[in-house]
Chain A
Amino acid sequence: MMRLPEFSYLAPVSVGDAVKLMADHGPAAMFVAGGTDLYPNMKRRQFEPSVLIGLRGIRDMSGVRGSSKTGLTIGAGTSLTAVSSHPDVTGHYAGLATAAGLVSSPQLRNMGTLGGNVCVDTRCNYYNQSYEWRKAVNFCMKKDGDICLVAPGSSRCWAVSSSDTAPMLWSLGAQVKLAGPEGERRIPISALYQDDGIQYLSKQPGEVVTDIVLPPSEGWRSAYLKLRRRGSFDFPVLGVAVALRMDGDIVLEGAITLGAVASQPRPAPEAAALLVGQRLTPELIDAAAAAAFKPGKPLDNTDLTHPYRKKMIRVFVARALREIAGP
């Protein structure tokens, strides 16, 4: 049986306590919420923290507050099941409900949290393997090794951002609230990420994501499409998240963000810019899909081949736009 390494477990009941505990224990400690990402990684010895700071007991960190009119604040500890079925989310941020509802399996969504999915570790099929497997290929730079096995000449890690909700939140213009030893801050979700497979989050190690804040939904429509082999369990090997603010059938502004094609969500601003002030005609959709195709550069480190995943960007962007345009 795969088992966890030893650790001690601390259960703060407030964000302040959690941050303080983290400051006290330093790099040996990690936060854990649902555990659905961290525990498998720990069982594979990708992480071996000696202290876990559990966030489950912090009541303030879960639940949905506010309204679609003023903007919605979703506690980072809210389960993916709750996010995907919350009426304000399904009614006004449909793409987010879809994305949260497509993460892994029903059981995992009952345990996994929105904050956890936003911060989910980057993935690579040279990395998400047991200690023994990784040893057999001499390890990679993300853990225990020196080189990137996907791109051996590269000085950086190319592990793939595999969150379903992150690209959608990015397109929706969400912000995240962070709490740390220096206090709280609020940043656009786009600023949470950086394009590096190891340091994929820009947050300080002592900081914890406490809330995800969605802007008012007025006029916005959103859609999320996910490419994967099976309808359950699988991480995205391509995610396409589109959010458009519409006036009737005219696009006022919008964003297209690709998931699982880089170490962070990858926006396609040129494609989105083509849509502004336009009706979503089949020709425009094709043009935008062609433009979105460019920024995605998947590598050969997930399921399905990377040329295929690249090819699917165009198809999925067009389909997501068509979904928003309606029949």
Chain B
Amino acid sequence: MSAGKFSVIGQSLPKIDAWAKVTGETRFADDLVLPRMAYAKLLRSPHAHALIKRIDTAQARALPGVYAVITGHDLPRVKFGILPVSQDEEALCVDKVRMVGDAVAAVAAVDEETAERAARLIDVEYEPLKPLMSIQESLANPEVRIHEYGDGPNIHKAVALQFGDVEAAFSGAHLVREDVFFFEGNTHLPMEQHAAVAHWGPDGKLTLWSSTQTPHYVHRLLGKILDVPQAHVRVVAAPVGGGFGGKLDPFAHEIAACKLSQLTGRPVKIALTREEVFYVHRGRHPVLMWIKTGFTRDGAITGMHFRSWLDGGAYGSYGVASTFYTGALQTVTYKIPVYKFEGARVFTNKPPCGPKRGHGTPQPRFAMECQIDKAAEQLGLDPADMRRRNLAEPFTKTANHLTVSTIGLGECIDRVVEASGWREKRGKLPPGRGMGIACSSYLTGAGTAIYWNDMPHSGVVVRADRSGLVAILCGATDIGQGSDSVLAYLVAEVLGIQPMDVRVHPADTDLTPVDLGSYSSRVTLMAGNAAIQATTRLRDRIFEAAARKLEVTPERLAARDRRVFVADEPEKGMTFAEAVTLGESMHGVLAFPGSYAPPKRAGKYKGGGVGPSPCYSYSACVVEVTVDAETGEVKPTEIWIAHDIGRSLNPLLVEGQVEGSIYMGLGEVLMEEQVFRKGVHKAPSMLEYKSPTTLETPEIHTILVETDDPEGPFGAKEAGQGPLLPVIPAVTNAVHDAVGVRIDETPISPEKILKALELGRQGKSPRVGPDKLPLFTFPEPRAVESAFGQPAENITERPFGK
């Protein structure tokens, strides 16, 4: 760490909002109350797939206390969706429902109970259609169409890309493995259920407060579908009580609340129940995967062919991006000279899948890391050594044209191997105990926006005045990860003040410059770099004024300890507030913008926009488990993870992100699953959707590795998602080490382990996992030359990087 060099960066400081959170003062969306507020409730479809023949709202309207009832006919008939290529959603379905939970009507009433009672009085006549509940069913029934668009009947998206000659790579390999894996779907389960308050004032202006990770996209959408100029809409993101990607789409309840507010002339609150949150979903796609990889005798990867089939659910959501993501990052973690990817996302009559922490990459990471483990065993190599042999080269391009800057994976592997006692323990533990390793890499911010534009991805305004106040205005949303705090740390560091001297005003589309949102691990890097630019501009003006007073050149000044002073004559200086006053006197209002757009490095092929990032984080993880061979129960006993964070702006926050990622990965590998039966979600509750408690969560040892990336603010990379990725295969590989079974599908439930053990006893392969692949012809692959090993271009050296 560089504690001496910086006064704020690198310190384990509390978050700036910590005090509000521990006293209950933080006001989440459902805590907001406005005068005359009405309460809304949605009526949702009980059918997985049906035509709407008739909706009769008369009884609901007649119920005392009901202010308004709306159906899709009351909204402009414009379909929407987060991605421009998938405009397939309606806030309230008009002709057809595509899943249990699709909204068909909304009520505003004097209180929530009345609204709920009224919703039950709405009479909807449906004509049921055949529900398609799996990839196989959707492909087998092309005559039943969930949507009329896409790359084929019930095919939302089919893609094929080839970077070099994989067949040649396989024929030259010592070992070629083909494996099939299945990753079950699961959901975000934020503790806070989504809520929103809409107020459409008599002046025609609309304000929406919502638990959203992306106020900007909600803002864009409301303007599009509510017949109101976007300039008259204001979206404020309330503090988000857990997001993980689940609050990243514009939702029916937000739109309905706005419309109901317009009709009733009252503020309208809507708060989802836990069950509704399961229908809103946008969580982890179930993905079936086939992976073929060639290896040399000493374990180097010669080439890879990867296929994925995604069960997308009823709507597009981020699904096109998800599809590409299942193929994008394999090449970033390890050296893969040639690579072919084919992927298809299939519509089914289930809640739509979308971006959950790690968006589209935990599934292929599971497949690839388990396959490497199998290959290591076959080749007689230590799994950690084999991974080390395949480290990608920093500052090069991958086969699929992604530009990679710093890579700390080698050090990560070494550190977890050492900390966990891997060399001493693995293979030597008593029966029923085992260790597994896996690695990963992840984006630090998506390199392209969701909609095509040349504008900044992040904007920040930093303002200071004679009071000594420093305020940061930024459109980014704090979802608990601490992004508001990170901005305060960066600004405080540059100005030589303390984070508590800074106020952060986030996520209000009236007040704050646009930031695309809290997703793809982008805020620290993108809003951070924008904040540094804005703050540097502010500091330059303050220094200019202070320098005149001190009769030195501005270049000689430094800012630290709430002072502005001559760097080599520290006693010569003034307080920060005095310097600001001089600056305001000289320059007028001190408010400066900063903008950030990532380097344009997308590969010149269709789909090349998914995967590029300014830089990538790396993680290596070792898990120790005990497996009860009689019950099949798996207990992770200890976890070591080393994470290449670039630079740790605040170790406490980084550790928190790493620990939370580990936790979520453990849930996904051991017990969480979003599954359906008879067309409905099997267990849409906190009780039956199994989220690990304190008792299932082992001790986690986090090691932070710093590589000081040129692209990141002060060299920082991401921490919020990457560390989830290796946990899942590390646990699976540890289970193999413990009892010799391969569970090639998540979650690795006790019954699957018993089944594999039983197969082993019968002399069969001790494996449980999928063995059939869908009958599906991918499109002809787009052949693109492999860019593997080419030097990186267009690397930005940012100020304060070194």
Whether A and B touch directly in their complex, counting CB atoms under 8 A apart, is answered as: yes
Given A230-B690, A308-B750, A312-B631; A136-B695 close (CB under 8 Å):
no
Given A304-B749, A315-B631; A137-B678 close (CB under 8 Å):
yes
- Tell me the complex Cα distance, A135–B692, Å: 30
Q: Are B693 and A304 in contact (CB under 8 A)?
A: no
Q: Are A133 and B684 in contact (CB under 8 A)?
A: yes
Of the candidate stretches A82-90, A231-239, A261-269, the one touching chain B is A231-239
- Chain B residue contacts of A133, Cβ below 8 A: 275, 680-681, 684
Q: Are A135 and B46 in contact (CB under 8 A)?
A: yes
- Tell me the complex Cα distance, A288–B632, Å: 22
- Per-residue CB contact flags for chain B residues 104-115 toward chain A (1 = under 8 Å, else 0) read 000000001100
Q: Can you list the 5 inter-chain pairs with the closest CB atoms, starting with the nearest?
A: A231-B695, A136-B46, A308-B751, A232-B693, A315-B630
Name the residue among A128, A132, A227, A303 with the largest chain B CB count within 10 angstroms.
Answer: A132
- B679 touches A (CB below 8 Å): yes
Interface residues of B in 457-499 (CB under 8 A from A): none
- Chain A residue contacts of B112, Cβ below 8 A: 1, 3
Which chain B residue shows the least CB distance to A104? Answer: B687
Given A133-B684, A136-B679, A149-B678; A230-B671 close (CB under 8 Å):
yes
Q: Are A230 and B695 in contact (CB under 8 A)?
A: yes
Looking at the complex, which one of B275, B679, B682, B687 makes contact with A132 (CB distance below 8 Å)?
B275
- Chain B residue contacts of A135, Cβ below 8 A: 46
- B754 touches A (CB below 8 Å): yes
- B688 touches A (CB below 8 Å): yes
Q: Are B695 and A232 in contact (CB under 8 A)?
A: yes
- Per-residue CB contact flags for chain A residues 301-320 toward chain B (1 = under 8 Å, else 0) read 00111011001100100000
Q: List 5 A-B contacts (CB under 8 A).
A: A3-B113, A128-B688, A136-B100, A303-B690, A308-B751
Q: Are A308 and B754 in contact (CB under 8 A)?
A: yes
Q: Are B751 and A304 in contact (CB under 8 A)?
A: yes
Q: Are B275 and A130 in contact (CB under 8 A)?
A: yes
- Chain A residue contacts of B681, Cβ below 8 A: 133
Q: Are A229 and B671 in contact (CB under 8 A)?
A: yes
- Chain A residue contacts of B632, Cβ below 8 A: 308
- CB B126 to nearest CB in A, in angstroms, measures 11
- Per-residue CB contact flags for chain A residues 1-38 toward chain B (1 = under 8 Å, else 0) read 11100000000000000000000000000000000000
Interface residues of A in 123-166 (CB under 8 A from B): 125, 128-133, 135-137, 149
Q: Are A230 and B696 in contact (CB under 8 A)?
A: yes
Q: Are B44 and A132 in contact (CB under 8 A)?
A: yes
Q: Are A125 and B688 in contact (CB under 8 A)?
A: yes
- Chain A residue contacts of B696, Cβ below 8 A: 230-231
- B271 touches A (CB below 8 Å): yes
Q: Are B687 and A234 in contact (CB under 8 A)?
A: yes
- B553 touches A (CB below 8 Å): no
- Tell me the complex Cα distance, A133–B377, Å: 47
- CB A56 to nearest CB in B, in angstroms, measures 24
- Per-residue CB contact flags for chain B residues 380-417 toward chain A (1 = under 8 Å, else 0) read 00000000000000000000000000000000000000
Which chain B residue shows the least CB distance to A130? Answer: B275
Q: Are A1 and B678 in contact (CB under 8 A)?
A: no
Which chain A residue shows the least CB distance to B695? Answer: A231
- Tell me the complex Cα distance, A132–B119, Å: 11
A-B contact count (CB 8 A): 72
- Chain B residue contacts of A315, Cβ below 8 A: 630-631
- B47 touches A (CB below 8 Å): yes
- Chain A residue contacts of B275, Cβ below 8 A: 130, 132-133
- CB B253 to nearest CB in A, in angstroms, measures 14
- B683 touches A (CB below 8 Å): yes
Q: Are B693 and A231 in contact (CB under 8 A)?
A: yes
- Per-residue CB contact flags for chain B residues 651-687 toward chain A (1 = under 8 Å, else 0) read 0000000000000000000010000001111111111
- Tell me the complex Cα distance, A304–B675, Å: 13
Which chain A residue shows the least CB distance to B272? Answer: A1
- Chain B residue contacts of A304, Cβ below 8 A: 749-751
Interface residues of B in 678-722 (CB under 8 A from A): 678-688, 690, 692-696
- Chain A residue contacts of B754, Cβ below 8 A: 308, 311
Which chain A residue shows the least CB distance to B44? Answer: A132
- Tell me the complex Cα distance, A149–B679, Å: 13
- Chain B residue contacts of A137, Cβ below 8 A: 678-680
- Chain B residue contacts of A132, Cβ below 8 A: 44, 46, 275
Interface residues of A in 216-238 (CB under 8 A from B): 227, 229-235
Which chain A residue shows the least CB distance to B193? Answer: A1
Which chain B residue shows the least CB distance to A300? Answer: B677
Name the residue among B44, B680, B695 with the largest chain A CB count within 10 angstroms.
Answer: B680
Which chain B residue shows the least CB distance to A304? Answer: B751
- CB A247 to nearest CB in B, in angstroms, measures 30
* 19 additional contacts (CB under 8 A) given A133-B680, A232-B695: A1-B112, A2-B273, A3-B113, A125-B688, A130-B273, A130-B275, A132-B44, A132-B46, A133-B684, A227-B631, A230-B695, A231-B693, A231-B695, A232-B694, A233-B687, A234-B687, A303-B690, A305-B751, A308-B751
Name the residue among B120, B275, B687 with the largest chain A CB count within 10 angstroms.
Answer: B687
- Chain B residue contacts of A312, Cβ below 8 A: 631
- CB B182 to nearest CB in A, in angstroms, measures 17
- Per-residue CB contact flags for chain A residues 231-257 toward chain B (1 = under 8 Å, else 0) read 111110000000000000000000000
- Tell me the complex Cα distance, A276–B134, Å: 53
Which chain A residue shows the least CB distance to B696? Answer: A230
- Per-residue CB contact flags for chain B residues 608-645 toward chain A (1 = under 8 Å, else 0) read 00000000000000000000001110000000000000
- Chain B residue contacts of A1, Cβ below 8 A: 112, 271, 273
Which chain A residue shows the least CB distance to B682? Answer: A125
- Tell me the complex Cα distance, A136–B125, Å: 13
Given A125-B688, A311-B754; A136-B680 close (CB under 8 Å):
yes
Which chain A residue shows the least CB distance to B758? Answer: A311
Q: Are B688 and A303 in contact (CB under 8 A)?
A: yes
- Chain B residue contacts of A129, Cβ below 8 A: 684-685
- Tell me the complex Cα distance, A2–B277, Å: 13
